[in-house]
């Protein structure tokens, strides 16, 4: 998988700095659950978040409602498809927000 994290466009950097996306950056390396617009719940470790809220995750459990979860070693999620991101308890909210807005 090519390392696209180095080539960040100006538009994307602006997206990062002006929205709450930068707070999602703080979640990198943590395990969490992402809920998509189509009710699918994806639980795994967040590898990378970009300015468009695209996620790449590893060690993923992909669960459709009322179905057996599938396991994937790696998955890429399109930002527009996301409805919720569960924030793990370990994240100190105050610190994350101050870091991003302050």
Per CB under 8 A, residues contacting other proteins are: 18-21, 23-24, 37, 53, 79-80, 82-89, 91, 93, 97, 101
Distance in angstroms (rounded) separating the CA atoms of residues 72 and 93: 29
In the complex, minimum distance from the CB of residue 31 to other proteins, in angstroms, rounded to a whole number: 14
Distance in angstroms (rounded) separating the CA atoms of residues 67 and 78: 22
- Nearest CB to other proteins, comparing residues 2 and 65: 65
In the complex, minimum distance from the CB of residue 82 to other proteins, in angstroms, rounded to a whole number: 5
- Nearest CB to other proteins, comparing residues 3 and 27: 27
- Nearest CB to other proteins, comparing residues 7 and 98: 98
Collect contacts of 38-46 with beta carbons under 8 A, ≥24 apart: 38/81, 39/64, 39/65, 40/64, 40/65, 42/75, 42/77, 44/72, 44/75
In the complex, minimum distance from the CB of residue 6 to other proteins, in angstroms, rounded to a whole number: 25
């Amino acid at each position: 998988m090519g390392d696209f994290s180095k080539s960040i466009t100006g538009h994307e950097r602006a997206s990062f700095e002006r929205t709450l996306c930068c707070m999602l950056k703080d979640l990198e390396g943590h395990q969490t659950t992402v809920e998509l617009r189509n009710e699918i719940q994806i639980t795994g470790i967040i590898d990378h978040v970009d300015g468009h809220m695209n996620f790449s995750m590893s060690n993923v459990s992909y669960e459709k409602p009322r179905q057996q979860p599938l396991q994937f070693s790696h998955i890429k999620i399109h930002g527009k498809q996301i409805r919720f991101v569960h924030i793990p308890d370990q994240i100190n909210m105050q610190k994350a927000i101050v870091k991003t807005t302050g």
